[in-house]
Structure 1
Amino acid sequence: MNIGGIQGDMQAMMLEAANTKPAATGHSVSSEFGDMLAKAIQNVNGLQKTSGDLQTRFDRGDENVSLSDVMIARNKSSVAFEATIQVRNKLVEAYKELMNMPV
């Protein structure tokens, strides 16, 4: 997955969120957010597995895997993981703000 692909996915999600009608209970919106978050985490996990597999194949001497392939896969997984950490930090920060609001 490249950076342009991530940006395209984010824009598609933004358009989808703008076109979503608000639900009366908010239940479907939260489940959709949960599904989207789960897919994003699975995507990051897949990138990390791919990176690890390529590294293992390169270490074992597979001629079909070059060092540049390994480094690109590793950088992709690193960027995706760092983005996931930043999203988590923002969610925790928002949760803390909500918990500190007077009722």
Structure 2
Amino acid sequence: MDLRISSTPNPLTGTELARRVMAPQPAAQEVGFSTAFRNALQAVSAAQEQASGLQREVQLENPRVSIEETMVAVQKAQIGFQATLHVRNRMVQAYTDIMNMQV
């Protein structure tokens, strides 16, 4: 997944960002929940790695890396992590609810 920062005239809303992240990959076979969730986790991990790399470059005073680009990458990584955390919490709550159902 490509997470490069591009200049867009309008910022993405939460739903537009979710659509972009969950958009079907070209030439992909049928995607189940586990595959989609794994892909989302990999995308969040890649965003965190990119943010860490940019932070390292800023600390090393690399003139080709701007502080603004780094801050945007860090915020993207944080938002992705928070969204992943919310999904995990909802999944755990659903599992708990199902396990507490009387048959």
* TM-score for the superposition, normalised by structure 1: 0.75
Corresponding residue of 2:19: 8
Partner of 2:34: 34
SS of residue in 2 equivalent to 1:55? helix
Distance apart, 1:32 and its partner CA: 1.1
CA–CA distance in structure 1, aligned partners of residues 22 and 54 of structure 2: 30
Structure 2 residue runs of 5 or longer lacking an equivalent are 4-10, 25-29
Taking only aligned residues, the RMSD between alpha carbons, in angstroms, comes to: 2.3
Distance 1:11 1:42 in 2: 12
Q: Is residue 2:84 matched to residue 1:84? A: yes
Residue 10 (structure 1) shift: 6.5
Partner of 2:71: 71
Q: CA 1:3 to 1:42, structure 2 compared with 1: closer, same or farther past 3 Å? A: farther
User: Higher helix share goes to which structure?
Assistant: 1
Q: Give unmatched runs, 5+ long, in structure 1.
A: 14-28
Classify the secondary structure of the residue corresponding to 2:32: helix
Q: What percentage of aligned pairs have identical amino acids?
A: 30
Q: TM-score, normalised on structure 2?
A: 0.75
Q: Which runs of 4+ in 1 moved over 4 A?
A: 10-13
Distance 1:73 1:54 in 2: 8
- Quick check: which has more Rg, 1 or 2? 1
Change (3 A) 1:3 1:77: farther
Is the alpha carbon distance of 1:33 and 1:100 closer, same or farther for their aligned partners in structure 2, counting shifts above 3 Å? same
Q: How many residues align?
A: 87
